[in-house]
Structure 1
Amino acid sequence: GVDNKRAARESIGLPKDKVLIGTISRLATQKGHCYLFEAFKILKARVPGLSLVIAGDGPLKDELAELVRSLGIADDVIFLGARRDVSSILKALDLYVLPSLWEGLPMALLEAMATSLPVVATRVSGVPEVIEDDVSGMLVEAKDAKAFAAAMERVLVDSALAQRLGKSARETIEERFSATAMVNSMAELYLEVLEQNNVA
């Protein structure tokens, strides 16, 4: 609970008294950081005490740092660089965000959901297959900073909603991506293949 979150924040050197929104991904165009920063600027004007945590490295590093400065949000955006301690970062957060323009099925998203974090994500590629809008997370159209800000605000101002989304996110992962579920679906797949080849 609260103690775990505090310990995780201390171990990474993150502010203890802020509401932390975060994402873990390469700093590349497809990941949509620029729209997240615009959304965060809108959100910051409405909700006090927020910081945005960006974990990852990539070709846009300098460009994104410059964008953050020009938007006037540099004091509240923390670039962690490339990190291996993903589970500690996730434990430190209050809200996980995925602003991607296109995406496969990002491991960090599944890990965030497994950590019971509420998630706001873009409705792209494989994401709607794991997140049901308003049930196991909030889905927004890609490149829509205003809608992304509104979805983040909804989750942050309504702790019951945040809890419900986080709980449902974890249940989704347990049902669909746990080792047992994976083994069962692999077994089904093998049986199908065997049947098609008339081996079974």
Structure 2
Amino acid sequence: MKILLLINSFGRGGAEKSTVSFILKVNKQYENINFVCVYLHPYKPGFYDEIEQNKIPLIHIKEKGFFSRVKRFKGIIEEFHPDIVHSVLFDSNLISRFSSIGRNEIFVESLVNKTYSKDREYQSRNIQIKSYLIKLIDKSSSYLVDYFHSVGFAVANHYLEVYNRKFNYTVVERGRLKPINIPEKKGNVSGKLTLLTLARQEYQKGLLYLLEAMLPFRNMVQLQIVGREGSATEELKEYVRRNNMENDVEFCGYFDDIVPLVNNADVYVSASLYEGLPGSVIEAMSLKKPLILSDIEEHREVAIENENVLFFQPKNSRELSEKIEIFLNDRKLLKKFGSRSMEIFNERFTEDSMIKGMAEFYLNIFEKEKTSKN
């Protein structure tokens, strides 16, 4: 079986990381499944070398216009004759959908985020109108997709509401490689409780509310923000300067290997307003971290309240402060919640589970289509 996979880029985002992970492992472990990878943008740093080192064909669509890209992608389909065409992320999905017209291949899409969440805020009326038009195009062209893969039930339910119809979908949750040779936790020599969040510095990650929640804990709590700068960076750094929090908050930037940073933290925090399936939370669980998470459907899908996580209402800095204080005053709870995080990870979110799930997804839809044609 040959799978042609189209994605916006193989940069180091969450969706990209999970996609590359299952491509490499499925390609290696299942002799009857082979991939050809296609991408639109050469964003770096990325996973391009890893794909090529595994001798998987990698093609860059350099054309710029939408219809030029559709024409090029149709040519790639003609060249490789795939059994399944799988697209990830909106730009790629739209190109794949228009390329499917008049063709007999099986067309599949991954649903990875709650793209049209009501919690999105728009910088201008024009952007809001543009988002509405994109949603309309997405909904009206979704009929061109044969099967959907969703990273979680919250994301699947979001699109059932957006498309306002039933469609064929399978949930295969994101998985992460179980850490090995974990370095010894160094601990904070100052005695502070160390919080860590992995997040792009964008509004949806709720980082300003996290900074506000830190205010009562000067010199008692250390916050590390790991991730790329974004549209919220200037506001976040100005807030830290204005409130003299430079000794309590560290902007760490982007790291390829986040294991040492997460491992040295006491608590993992996410203040996100919406997510897909939160891969960073899963990574923290794999390293036995207790969690403080915003109470959104996506977080409840991976963590269990009062077993490995304390939930707080999104955008509620005061309630988030209260949860931080609980861990600050009860260090024994850190170990209890951390152990439960590891148990949940091993039960549901290992990379092996994701690889098996994706391989079965491909094989099942392939056999189903083959049977229906006979």
Q: Give the TM-score range, shorter chain.
A: 0.7 to 0.9
Deviation, structure 1 residue 102: 1.2
1:28 paired residue number: 202
2:303 paired residue number: 131
Deviation, structure 1 residue 190: 6.7
1:4 paired residue number: 184
How far apart, CA to CA, are the structure 1 residues paired with 2:253 and 2:363?
A: 44
76, 101, 104: which one aligns with 2:276: 104
Deviation, structure 1 residue 65: 0.6
In the alignment, is the contact (CA less than 8 A) between 1:121 and 1:140 conserved in 2?
yes
How far apart, CA to CA, are the structure 2 residues paired with 1:151 and 1:50?
A: 13
How far apart, CA to CA, are the structure 1 residues paired with 2:305 and 2:347?
A: 17
Q: What letter matches 1:4 in structure 2? A: E
In the alignment, is the contact (CA less than 8 A) between 1:104 and 1:127 conserved in 2?
no
Deviation, structure 1 residue 197: 6.6
1:165 paired residue number: 337
1:122 paired residue number: 294
Gaps of 5+ in 1: 10-14
In the alignment, is the contact (CA less than 8 A) between 1:51 and 1:77 conserved in 2?
yes
Deviation, structure 1 residue 189: 5.3
Deviation, structure 1 residue 115: 0.3
1:16 paired residue number: 189
* Offset from partner CA, 1:103-162 (integer Å, 9 cap, x none): 112221111111001110001241110111111211111001111111111123212221
1:51 paired residue number: 222
In the alignment, is the contact (CA less than 8 A) between 1:131 and 1:138 conserved in 2?
no
Matching of residue 150 in structure 1 with residue 322 in structure 2 = yes
Q: What letter matches 1:148 in structure 2? A: L
SS in 1 for 2:184: helix
* Offset from partner CA, 1:30-74 (integer Å, 9 cap, x none): 0001100110112x05xx532111111222222211011223322
218, 230, 243: which one aligns with 1:71: 243
Range with greater deviation from structure 2 (180-189 or 112-121) = 180-189
Range with greater deviation from structure 2 (50-59 or 169-178) = 50-59
CA RMSD of aligned residues (A): 2.4
Q: What letter matches 1:5 in structure 2? A: K
Higher helix residue share: 1
How far apart, CA to CA, are the structure 2 residues paired with 1:49 and 1:181?
A: 39
Q: What letter matches 2:189 in structure 1? A: K
How many residue pairs get matched? 188
How far apart, CA to CA, are the structure 2 residues paired with 1:123 and 1:195?
A: 40
How far apart, CA to CA, are the structure 2 residues paired with 1:85 and 1:195?
A: 39
Runs (4 or more) in structure 1 with deviation over 6 Å come to 194-198
Task: Calculate the TM-score normalised by the size of structure 2.
Answer: 0.46
Larger radius of gyration: 2
* Offset from partner CA, 1:62-91 (integer Å, 9 cap, x none): 221101122332221111112222111101
How far apart, CA to CA, are the structure 1 residues paired with 2:220 and 2:352?
A: 41
How far apart, CA to CA, are the structure 2 residues paired with 1:150 and 1:78?
A: 21
* Offset from partner CA, 1:137-193 (integer Å, 9 cap, x none): 111110011111111111232122211111111111110011343355557757875
Distance 1:188 1:82, change over 3 A: closer
Task: Calculate the TM-score normalised by the size of structure 1.
Answer: 0.82
262, 268, 273: which one aligns with 1:90: 262
Q: Which has the higher contact order (CA 8 A, sep 6+)?
A: 1
